[in-house]
Amino acid sequence: MAVKLFILGLPGSGKSAVARFILKYVNGQRVDERNDQCWSAIRFNDYTFLLDMYHQDTAWKRFKPASPGGFDVLDLKVFDEALQTLEQEVDVYVDSLNLEEKKLVLVEFSRNDYERAFQQFNKSFLKDAHFIYLDTELEKCKQRICLRSVNPKNPADDYPVSEYIFEVYYYSDDGLSIADLLAKEYGVDKWRVLTIDNNCSLELVCKNIEPFIHSILNPLSIVNK
């Protein structure tokens, strides 16, 4: 059994930090107290696919190098294409699982328009999934990106994000409407969606996320909701 958990928010909102916390929290958790079967978790991030597309664009028609490193997107359609590839990769992985495995599949990405983003997926990809949206002030996100660029602690995650992409793409974020959007368009129960303020410390945010993760790993605990 695989359960998908989407982790959403602006670049710098703390998605990767939360994903790392969830990986550590989930791996080794028992399915329930009646047996010894354990959960494990795996993480997918659309940045991997965007980076591959950037490297393939040797003529720089859809991307351009960015200072102090990384890349900028010139053709915004690549954001849609990356999500389509992300779905394919997750589906391939899920199909490879043993039916007895208990796997939490983390799916991480940022977009400025989640209605458009979700339209890139088949509806079945979103069915029965769970969602965490990290509500973080834009300036706070920029500060975090600046700090991690100077002192990267997790090189795989602490990649730079330029001012340019914030100006042309991430100047807005409709994430606060995610629960209503998912309920209306995809029939996702609102208890499956957690919107959390991540302008505070990571320790406090993770503490507030723990009950949500527990409810995913122990679905019998929420049957009365």
Tell me what percent of the chain is helix, strand and coil, each rounded to the nearest 5: 45, 20, 35
The whole-angstrom separation of Cα 57 and Cα 41 is 32
Q: Residue 223's pLDDT is what?
A: 44
pLDDT at 34: 55
Within a 10 A sphere around the Cβ of 142, how many other Cβ atoms? 17
Tens-binned pLDDT, residue by residue, of the chain (225 aa): 899 999 999 999 999 999 999 999 998 666 555 555 689 999 999 999 999 999 999 999 999 998 777 899 999 999 999 999 999 999 999 999 998 889 999 999 999 999 999 999 999 999 899 999 999 999 999 999 988 877 778 878 888 898 899 999 998 888 889 999 999 999 999 999 999 999 998 899 999 999 999 999 987 544 444
The 8 Å CB, 24+ separation contacts for 208-215 are 209/18, 209/21, 209/22, 209/132, 210/25, 212/130, 212/132, 213/22, 213/25, 213/26, 215/191
Mean residue pLDDT across the chain: 90
Token pair for 176? 């606060």
pLDDT of residue 30: 60
pLDDT for position 75: 97
> Please, what are the domains in the chain?
2-45+96-222 (3.40.50.300)
